[in-house]
Structure 1
Amino acid sequence: MRDITTNNELMATIALAALQDVEDPEIGLNIVDLGLIYQLDFDEQEKKIYCTMTLTTQFCPMGGSIRANCRHRLENAFPGFEIIVALQFHPPWNASRISAEGRKFLEG
């Protein structure tokens, strides 16, 4: 599963499918193919999902919107779960994290 750390592969697959609908509006590519998701952890007993992500730059003007959309999509995919979305900038994002599908989109 790409460069994403998780404690539950099945739930992470579902989460990533939901996050495919969240785009970076400046680039037009979804945050999964951009490689912005670093980690997805699931606490089924406490009904919490921890999503660690980054942005293409620390000063991304759309960062708040992207983060809110991420939370919203995960809430829809996992009703009743509390969603915690944390930003992390270490390691910093770079273009090598873009998926093959994302590269095709950007080249097209």
Structure 2
Amino acid sequence: MERKMVVTQSDCPARLVPAGTKITIPKNTFVTITQALGGNYTVSVNGNMARIDGTDAAAIGYQAQEFNFEAPADGQISEEQVWEALKTIFDPEIPVNLVDLGLIYKVSIDQATKKVIIDMTLTAPGCGMGPVLVSDVKYRVNKVPHVADVEVELVFDPPWSREMMSEEAQLETGLFF
């Protein structure tokens, strides 16, 4: 997507990049969309970069992304749905989702407390996008039926390497070897 300037049609929840701090972009604010991947929008607003989740896309004039996960009748959290939600989160700088990038190491679910614990890493320990990616993961996984809490643990062992990327992701980024 080419950069596109739009005006917010309503107050819009967003998260600052790279800090992940929650903000509200007021109605009638000019924003420039710089990236639209996985239902997330990276925008430039008042000299800052921010992320708008696809579920809030109507505020910038796009169709809001809805999660159509069917709630399991047994009241349990579906691990498959958690992984599906994680595949909709894209790195703000690389057009590949976090799962295919190999950044998600482990998903654990405590059905008794309805808590999802995710071990994830970053492409580099000092990656400035860490806080916003953690925020994206929490926001999106909280949309899975029966999830009451999401905890994200940043881990750096083993260190991430491009070999952890799916073959498709390596091809997409030109890192196939």
TM-score (ref. length: structure 2): 0.52
Question: Does residue 81 of the first structure (1) align with residue 148 of the second (2)?
Answer: yes
Structure 2 distance, partners of 1:41, 1:80, is: 12
Q: Which residue of 2 is the match for residue 61 of structure 1?
A: 128
Distance 1:20 1:70 in 2: 10
Greater share of residues in strand:
2
Residue 110 of structure 2, aligned match among 24, 36, 43: 43
Shift in Å, 1:106: 1.5
Q: Supply the distance in 1 between the matched residues of 2:82 and 2:147 (Cα, whole angstroms).
A: 14
Take 1:19 and 1:42, find their aligned partners in 2: how far apart are those partners? Answer: 14
CA distance in 2, matches of 1:34, 1:57: 12
1:101 and 2:168 matched: yes
Q: What is the aligned partner in structure 1 of residue 23 from structure 2? A: none
> Normalized against structure 1, the TM-score is what?
0.83
Structure 1 window deviating more from structure 2 (75-84 vs 25-34): it is: 75-84
After superposing on structure 2, the runs of 4+ consecutive aligned residues of structure 1 that deviate more than 3 Å are none
CA shift, 1:11, in A, is: 2.8
Q: How many percent identity over aligned positions?
A: 34
Q: Work out the CA distance in 2 between the residues paired with 1:32 and 1:80.
A: 19
Q: Using a 3 Å threshold, how does the CA distance of structure 1 residues 50 and 38 change in structure 2: closer, same or farther? A: same
1:90 equivalent in structure 2: 157
User: 1: distance between equivalents of 2:81 and 2:166?
Assistant: 18
Count matched residues: 99
Q: Deviations over 1:47-74 (max 9, x none)?
A: 1110010000011111111110011110
Aligned-residue CA RMSD (Å) = 1.8
Q: Which runs of 5+ in 2 are unaligned?
A: 1-76
